[in-house]
Structure 1
Amino acid sequence: MPDKEKLRIDKYLWAIRVFKTRTLAADACRAGRVKLDGSNVKPSHEVKIGEVYNVSKGIEKKVIKITGLLENRVDAKTAIMFYEDITPEEETVAFKSMFHAPILKRDRGTGRPTKRDRREIDGLKDDFFE
């Protein structure tokens, strides 16, 4: 694939599969969720090899270093070769641990929990989140 001299940040983030659509990538840039050296980046900002971007996508935060320019969207295995994810390990672990929290469900039809049940549920939550 030929490398391009000029490439917009919204198109690049879409091509390396950070965002599902180019419109979402452009909206993230306009909203200030894509930063270069702590300053917001417009969707038309030109990407250069070696630059490091902070990208916030929902509650997930990524730090991406550009290793190559990619004009068109490709499969995930190929896209990995064009950037380096240098997100700190503690942020990655914290984000993933949010999804391993226990889901407390009661059987359908058991009715409203009694005061005793409520205390047990609160005790489980307190033990897990402390």
Structure 2
Amino acid sequence: MRIDKYLWCVRYYKTRNMVTEACKKNHITVNAQVAKPSKEVFPGDTITFRKDQITRILVVLDIPANRVGPKLVDIYRKDETPAEAFAHLEMLKLSKEHYRKTGDGRPTKKDRRDLDDFADADGDAAWPDEE
């Protein structure tokens, strides 16, 4: 089976076109060799690809006839991605949340005016960068 079809069948990519684009960008390797979308995969092959800031390592156990349900994916592949990669991703998410809450964008004009009014009430004439 082709690599693009295999990764689509085992639900790592939503569309085959996404797998094709990843192959063209040399993000996918089969047995440590860069793979084209038409590369054939066989049971026992090792597939390495980077997705969502995680380098995933898969071993092909069997070839599915067509796209399988999420509960049946483990029959066709063995995920050998190290646990440290997932822990690193979790730490990255936590650090981003700590830095800035999700959903908070730039202050609006009204927010800025409210901040200016608050600063004037404290006796500050202007923002530090406006002095």
Q: TM-score, normalised on structure 2?
A: 0.71
User: Taking every aligned residue pair, what percent have the same amino acid on both sides?
Assistant: 27
Q: Which runs of 5 or more structure 2 residues have no equivalent in the other structure?
A: 120-131
Q: TM-score, normalised on structure 1?
A: 0.72
Larger CA Rg, structure 1 vs 2: 2
Higher relative contact order (CA 8 A, sep 6+): 1
1:95 paired residue number = 89
2:125 paired residue number = none
Structure 1 runs, 4 residues or longer, greater than 4 Å off: 105-108
Contact residue 11 and residue 71 of structure 1 kept, 8 A: no
Range with bigger deviation, 98-107 or 37-46: 98-107
Range with bigger deviation, 94-103 or 33-42: 94-103
2:115 paired residue number = 111
For this pair of structures, how many residues does the alignment match?
Answer: 107
Q: Distance in 2 between matches of 1:76 and 1:62?
A: 17
2:126 paired residue number = none
Contact residue 35 and residue 54 of structure 1 kept, 8 A: yes
Q: How well do the aligned residues superpose, as a CA RMSD in angstroms?
A: 2.2
Q: Which runs of 5 or more structure 1 residues have no equivalent in the other structure?
A: 1-6, 115-130
Matched position secondary structure for 2:37? coil
